A and B are shown apart, each in its own frame.
Chain A
Amino acid sequence: MNIRRVFAMAYKEALQIWRDPRSLAIALLMPLMQMTLLGYGVSLDIKHVPLCVFDQQNNQQSRGIVERFVSSGWFSISHTLTRQAGIRHAMDRGECIAALVIPANFSRRLATTGSVGVQAIFDATDVNTTNIAIGYMQGVVALINARIDARWAAAHGVRLPRTGQVDLEQNTWFNETLDSRNFIIPGVVAVILALVGAQLTSLTVSREWERGTMEQLISTPVTALEVMLGKLVPYFVVGLIDAVFCLAAAAWWFGVPFRGSILTLFVTTALFILVVLDIGYLISVRIHSQLGASQVALLITLLPTTLLSGYTFPIDQMPAPIRALTFFVYPRYYVTILRAIFLKGSGLADLWAPSLGLLVYAVIIIWLAARAFRKRLD
């Protein structure tokens, strides 16, 4: 390998990137745009569940109950209904996903029997959301009950029995606020870099075939390895800038806590970008048209990365064969690494397994790509 030829190749490629400001702008702004879309779009938290209220009692006490739901922050009242049929109507139009029905004899039943039923109706088309909303509602009701008990006890001068109770004291580590965004955003960064990185390099060799510059290039003594390294260097810089953009947005814009070291982040990110760029390069070597190469790059990165990297769908929950498949999906290693660095502050020593996974991947892909490039026309 001749380092001068690698440098010449890299310099030429950098000039070409620089002379095409539109593509460069896309390469640098696209990740930020995707970051905004995916960062805001993908959230597993449900806040302000739209709630319809059909309060048949409508007195101070029942309004107090409704008020407890609103002040919990989990619900917001979308409709205050006067007819039972209104619930169906509101759900059909998607204006609420939960409804609360308070019976007309609410206060009297509570006063006489000490217990009263309120009805909750859910739109269960989205099971996940419904389960979460049910959980929220049980939480609110438990609070209401505790307050009723306390008031009753105070009014009757009775001490409530505290025997035989186990209180669960919850401690959530690493993501104390249980904010799903902290979990998802690092995954989003990995997905975006995987997509953008492969796109960046997928055009670099096919462009030379299309424009006719390849025929002259392969008639020189330049080697396949020199072409690859030379072409990857400038894109590596672009990829790192993209990574800085995305990671900075994750930490400062989306406020994901960053607890790890910059060095660990840099080493693993550089490794990941190398893998991602080389995947694109490999595609570019095999497919001689720019459009084809870019489409294949999108196709083979998009689905595995979004479905099997574990960035939203937990790998632990997948059936065993699918789980085995995820080991071939290189972003899964980086998703794991990023989450650990951001939330747990893990160092390279803790992350040896996924880092090794990336390293092995990098070596194999580089070897394949260098071999795939033939200095021949057929």
Chain B
Amino acid sequence: MSSASEFAVHTEGLTRSFGSTLAVRQADMAIARGEIFGLVGPDGAGKTTIMRMLAGILPPDTGTISVDGVDVIGDAEGAKRHLSYMPQRFGLYEDLTVTENIFFYGELFGITRQKRLARSRELLTAAGLTPFQDRLAGQLSGGMKQKLGLVCALIHTPRILLLDEPTTGVDPVSRRDFWAILYNLRESGVTILLSTAYMDEAERCSRLALLHAGEIRYCDTPERLKQAMPGALLAVTSQDPRALRQWIAGQAGVLGVLLMGDRIHVRVDDAARRVPELKALLARQGINDAVIVPAEPGIEDVFVALIGARTAP
């Protein structure tokens, strides 16, 4: 407990159930200041429940939470002064304009007029929202809405930023803007905790917690998680990747097969030994165009290998 205040976010034994469903079980996290920490897992893994508990709007059944050194369970309101939470569902007022939403959240956090104007100018520029200041929030595109959510969450310069699936349904250009803002924030020392089902986004985090069925199964940097993946990864391409998967799955030494669009990822116990075997197998099945090369594992491969389930369908 004494070390809790050294961390931006620190939880111990965090548990929460809804009725008979255990949403989060014994979650321990220690997030250092300035980290971009990612919660990765499929829908229903408990990401949103953890976010809400950290934001102080959902009390846990048991466990402790400390955010920026403040005990969230004992003093939720005190913790709220230094954190910003952006819920998964758009939480701003659709019948208010961009400027009015920013004004409202600025006032709730009690920032001065000058600071609000300066900060909103800066954030709106970074988000590419400057031309849309007088537009009603409800008339923005999905990506612009999420960026406005981020602008409102950042207007009071929080120390901790909680983002629940911030880029779900956001176009690639807006996602790039979004991440540019996050990187900038990290440089100014803000701790960012975000949940995502996008693997390319998970790669950008400094550390990841892999969540499955309410439990944090693994927690480490993306690189070390990849090293922890048992076996070696092969990428196999052919005209018909589905047929490939059908033949390869279940062969000796094959630990897992994952369809990745136009190719399949095959995880094997020993690449040197299995590559010739697989080539021979495919040749026997009349598949002569197959190309087998070693591949760098992505977080998706790691997640499946470690947990045995995919994050997104």
Contact = CB atoms under 8 A, between A and B. Distances in A.
| Chain A interface size range | 20 to 34
B90 interface: yes
Contact of A216 (B56, B85, B107): B85
A375 interface: yes
Interface string B66-103: 00000000001100110111110111111110001001
Contact of A213 (B83, B91, B100, B109): B91
A8 B59 contact: no
B87 A216 contact: yes
A4 B95 contact: no
Given A377-B57, A377-B58, A219 B85 contact: yes
B104 A219 contact: no
B56 A12 contact: no
Interface stretch (A15-23, A42-50, A151-159, A244-252): A15-23
A12 B91 contact: no
Contacts of B86: 216
Contact of B108 (A5, A213, A376, A377): A5
Given A8-B104, A376-B58, A377-B57, A212 B91 contact: yes
Contacts of B108: 5, 8, 220-222
Contacts of A215: 52, 57, 87, 89, 91
Nearest to B162: A219
- Among B77, B90, B95, the most chain A Cβ lie within 10 Å of the Cβ of B95
Contacts of A375: 56-57, 76-77
Given A219-B55, A376-B57, A8 B107 contact: yes
A211 B94 contact: yes
Contacts of A4: 107, 110
Interface string A194-226: 000000000000000001110111111111000
A221 B93 contact: no
Nearest to B18: A378
B250 to A, nearest CB: 45
B95 A219 contact: no
A82 B149 CA distance: 84
A220 B109 contact: yes
A1 to B, nearest CB: 13
Contacts of A223: 77
Interface string B183-225: 0000000000000000000000000000000000000000000
Contacts of B84: 219
B176 to A, nearest CB: 24
Interface residues of B, number: 34
B7 interface: no
Contact of B95 (A5, A8, A19): A19
B132 interface: no
A177 interface: no
A376 B59 contact: yes
B71 to A, nearest CB: 16
A2 interface: yes
B80 A221 contact: yes
A5 B108 CA distance: 5
A115 B206 CA distance: 113
Contacts of A12: 93, 96, 100, 104
Nearest to B83: A219
Interface string A108-136: 00000000000000000000000000000
A7 interface: yes
A375 B80 CA distance: 11
Contact of A5 (B55, B107, B149): B107
Contacts of B109: 220-221
Nearest to A222: B108
5 contacts: A212-B87, A220-B108, A221-B81, A223-B77, A377-B58
Interface of B: 52, 55-59, 76-77, 80-81, 83-87, 89-96, 100, 103-105, 107-110, 136, 149, 152
Given A8-B103, A211-B94, A216-B152, 9 more contacts: A19-B95, A212-B90, A212-B91, A216-B149, A218-B57, A220-B80, A375-B57, A376-B58, A378-B59
Q: Which 6 A-B pairs have the closest CB atoms?
A: A216-B91, A8-B107, A219-B85, A212-B89, A215-B87, A19-B95
